[in-house]
Amino acid sequence: MDIIRVEGGHLISGTVVVSGAKNSALKLMAATLLAPGATTLENVPNISDVHVMGKVLKRMGATIDVLDEHTLRIDTSAVSSWEAPYDLVAKMRASTAVMGPLLGRFGCAKIAMPGGCNLGARKIDMHILGLGALGVQFDTDHGYIHADAPEGLTGTAVTLEFASVGATENLIMAAVKAKGTTVIDNAAREPEIVDLANMLNEMGARITGAGTPVVQIEGVEELHPVTHRVVGDRIEAGTFITAAALMADESGVEVTGFNPINLGMVIKKLELMGVRIDRIENGVRAYRADHIEPVDIQTLPFPGFPTDMQAQIMVLSALADGNSIITENIFENRFMFASELVRMGADIRVESHHAMVHGVDGFSGAQVTSPDLRGGAALVVAGLIAEGYTEVSAIHHIDRGYERFVEKLCSLGAHVERLSVPDPIDD
């Protein structure tokens, strides 16, 4: 069993370059199914979720060449299967992303119900309703979703009840091969969706309005392979900015490889908490906050505060001079992280989808368990300022979305190491 051990109290400085965005790379990999041939993706993060998605595509018949650590050439010419196998799909939430491309290419798909972090129900009703409007018929049994468009995909107007990222992406990827024009109203606006639309347009799609609430897709008969660079990971950037806000020395920490505009609400809230953040080319320089002000946060779809930064902001709020309220509107189980932070000395009370955070003077190192991807990374960040040693277990969650997390922290001067320890169950 691998753990991450953090010795608190060491200031950090220097430059860290964030990897390509997990939430973009996975969807871009799925989108290669729409263009038979070899598409090259650059700036792909070397993380476990990418490895799983690669296995999903290979199981369908794709071949993947690793040109270098962050460049993949994915040839989908020989793909003949439209089934995403359960043993792989159950490992990550993004697995439903292959449904739209498979429907676009083959007119049918068989997808296992998605897995990933235990953040709540895998709500795919909006995927089903949206794709159903395009002419897709669904049947579910034994943990699988069977999707079929016997008359082909036909463009139409679709209004999403909620600005769902996954549903927006699936609809876009299916609609690019539909007959006629599709209009998605109340579409999600995340930067990763813009990245997906940009690549599809490079492939020959006709998509306008990506990044706005109304996206229009004019169907085309075929798409062609391209070379595309994955956008930088704004959530990884936000995680390192939080670490800098806690432990940067007077020179600060440069976080590069991303567009700060994509992290606008996070930067705004951090600045309200007393964190100095200077914009630089392709990133920011963040400084340690001498005094942390309390702040109220509610997670919302982009451009609101991202749910994937909720745990990291809670770490800062737990050390603020006063009381903060954090409201989680996206995932019902995302406060599992709070109980682990309480083990380190935080004062947090959770009621329904609200967390009342009373600031304390400091954290104490403890043995804690990573409850999910972002919560695990936030516990490591909390360990940077805690007294003594913090040991974070279940770090496979962190591996799903952070490339070389320990190495990057060490390069900044943090005292962090990854260790293999006996599993207590086996003792």
Neighbours of 420 (CB within 10 A): 8
The reply to whether 43 sits in an annotated binding site is: no
Amino acid at site 315: V
Quick one: which of 112, 161, 95, 108 has its CA closest to 137?
108
For residue 167, how many other CB atoms are within 10 A of its CB? Answer: 28
Given its phi and psi angles, is residue 141 left (phi above 0), alpha (psi -120 to 50 degrees) or beta? beta
**Quick one: which of 284, 236, 277 has its CA closest to 256?**
284
Residues 215 and 172: beta-carbon distance below 8 Å: yes
22 is in an annotated binding site: yes
Q: Which of 60, 117, 199, 207 is catalytic?
A: 117
Task: Tell me the HSE value of 334 on the side-chain side, using a 13 A CA sphere.
Answer: 24
Examine the residue annotation and report whether 108 is marked as an active-site residue of this protein.
Answer: no
Rounded to 10 degrees, the C-alpha dihedral 93/96/98/101 comes to -140
Q: Which two tokens stand for residue 64?
A: 């993947």
Torsional sign, CA 318, 320, 323, 329: negative
153 and 130 Cβ atoms separated by less than 8 Å: no
Residue 330 labelled as part of a binding site: yes
| Residues in binding site | 22-23, 93, 308, 330
Give binding residues for UDP-N-acetyl-alpha-D-glucosamine as ranges: 93, 308, 330
Q: Which residues are annotated as a binding site for phosphoenolpyruvate?
A: 22-23
Active site residues: 117
